[in-house]
């Protein structure tokens, strides 16, 4: 659930079209996937408990769907929001179930569980023994000891109501506040403390850090303010440049290539631009073609581009794989509403 206001028509259609998905206890299927590839988190339908996890092997061009269900004999839950890998462990953030599953990235079996979070969104690892988890409804960041998956504290956000994506520059962890806010928050990871904020446009929805130490965020715009891309120096915390866009090309889903020198984003089409650019690209990398582009990611090793097409947010959707030049390579059938990617290297 990238945005917590979901299309009501899609939800209604889901209620009509989705059969009862109460699987009951299922046998646990053995997996041993040591190859590199990409995990794809599929949100499912809000309140329908039908989130899923897929794994795609680009070398063999094969996909395994519902791997969490098949490996563990239980459903993943309600709205798979994001995933990150750290030290061979996968952390799958399930937003509306209020849980983060820790899985073995080869067997897909659950090895740990982080609970006690209201509505988790993203996970970040400021050091080898700590995880930060942002929250949609709790105005705090949850601090977890990754050695035992126990909560060891919370970081208050000084009145900011929600937190989203995180990136790190030295001991500073930058956090965007999407829900009716206009700030990038700055957390001192050495002290687990909010220390500063950076004012940007309304509702910053994505956050990445390029190879030159520049933060990039995308804002929705509000009350006459144009949607925009923002470039910010992480060291000085000063805005360097703002790129305004028309409303119909509102940017979202920022991501970088492996070299972190090229920015990709969704703005109806798929766009890309060098991070040192002084102007926006004139033509899209992948033009809009009657699809609902819902997620984009770049393989950090091959620079191939993966684009999620939600179709109608109800039926099982697809992910398209492209070469760095935009030539189609594969079409991957996955679960409902694929939204995020996590590369296993």
**Mean pLDDT for the chain?**
93
Q: What is the DSSP letter of 314?
A: S
Tell me what pLDDT residue 23 has. Answer: 45
Which residues are CB-contacts of 48 (< 8 A; sequence separation ≥ 6)? 14, 18, 21, 78
Q: What is the DSSP letter of 281?
A: -
Cβ count within 10 A of residue 145: 14
| C-alpha pair distances (Å), 79 with each of 36, 51, 54, 178, 232 | 25, 5, 14, 18, 31
Confidence of residue 246 (pLDDT cuts 50, 70, 90): very high
3-state secondary structure of 67: helix
- pLDDT over 70, % of the chain: 93
Tell me what pLDDT residue 5 has. Answer: 35
Tell me what pLDDT residue 17 has. Answer: 42
pLDDT beyond 70 at 268: yes
Confidence of residue 26 (pLDDT cuts 50, 70, 90): confident
pLDDT beyond 50 at 152: yes
How much is the pTM?
0.93
Terminal alpha carbon distance of the chain? 26
Residues constituting the chain: 345
Tell me what pLDDT residue 25 has. Answer: 64
Confidence of residue 289 (pLDDT cuts 50, 70, 90): confident
Give the residue-averaged pLDDT of 115-136.
Answer: 98
> Is the CB of residue 338 less than 8 Å from the CB of residue 307?
no
pLDDT beyond 80 at 80: yes
Tell me what pLDDT residue 281 has. Answer: 98
Tell me what pLDDT residue 20 has. Answer: 38
Give the residue-averaged pLDDT of 113-134.
Answer: 98
Q: How far apart are CA 214 and CA 236, in angstroms?
A: 10
Confidence of residue 18 (pLDDT cuts 50, 70, 90): very low
Phi first, then psi: what are they for 14, rounded to 5°?
-60, -40
> Is the CB of residue 10 less than 8 Å from the CB of residue 314?
yes
Give the residue-averaged pLDDT of 246-254.
Answer: 96
Tell me what pLDDT residue 1 has. Answer: 58
pLDDT beyond 70 at 19: no
| C-alpha pair distances (Å), 203 with each of 1, 35, 111 | 15, 38, 35
Tell me what pLDDT residue 223 has. Answer: 82
Cβ count within 10 A of residue 68: 27
Confidence of residue 291 (pLDDT cuts 50, 70, 90): confident
Output the six-digit token pair for 269.
């089409």
């Amino acid at each position: 659930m990238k945005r917590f206001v979901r299309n009501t028509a899609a939800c209604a259609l889901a209620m009509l079209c989705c059969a009862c998905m109460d699987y009951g206890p299922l046998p646990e299927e053995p997996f041993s996937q040591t190859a590199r590839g990409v995990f794809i988190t599929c949100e499912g339908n809000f309140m329908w408990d039908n989130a899923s996890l897929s794994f795609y092997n680009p070398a063999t061009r094969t996909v395994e769907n519902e791997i969490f269900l098949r490996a563990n004999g239980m459903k993943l839950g309600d709205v798979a929001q994001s995933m990150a890998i750290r030290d061979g462990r996968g952390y799958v953030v399930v937003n509306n179930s209020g849980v983060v599953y820790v899985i073995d990235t080869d067997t897909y079996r659950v090895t740990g569980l982080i609970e006690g979070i209201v509505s988790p969104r993203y996970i970040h690892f400021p050091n080898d023994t700590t995880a930060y988890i942002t929250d949609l409804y709790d105005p705090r960041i949850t601090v977890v000891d990754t050695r035992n998956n126990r909560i060891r504290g919370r970081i208050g956000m000084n009145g900011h109501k929600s937190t989203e994506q995180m990136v790190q520059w030295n001991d500073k962890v930058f956090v965007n506040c999407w829900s009716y806010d206009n700030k990038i928050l700055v957390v001192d990871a050495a002290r687990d403390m909010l220390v500063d904020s950076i004012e940007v446009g309304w509702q910053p929805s994505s956050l990445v850090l390029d190879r030159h130490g520049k933060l990039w965020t995308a804002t929705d715009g509000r009350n006459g303010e144009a949607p925009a891309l923002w470039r910010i120096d992480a060291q000085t915390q000063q805005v360097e440049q703002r790129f305004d866009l028309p409303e119909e090309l509102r940017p979202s889903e920022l991501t970088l290539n492996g070299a972190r020198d090229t920015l990709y984003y969704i703005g109806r089409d798929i766009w890309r631009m060098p991070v040192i650019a002084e102007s926006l690209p004139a033509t899209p990398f992948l033009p809009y073609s009657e699809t609902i582009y819902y997620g984009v990611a770049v393989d950090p090793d091959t620079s191939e581009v993966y684009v999620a097409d939600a179709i109608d947010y109800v039926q099982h959707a697809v992910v398209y794989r492209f070469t760095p030049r935009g030539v189609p390579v594969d079409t991957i059938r996955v679960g409902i509403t694929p939204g995020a990617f996590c590369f296993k290297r």
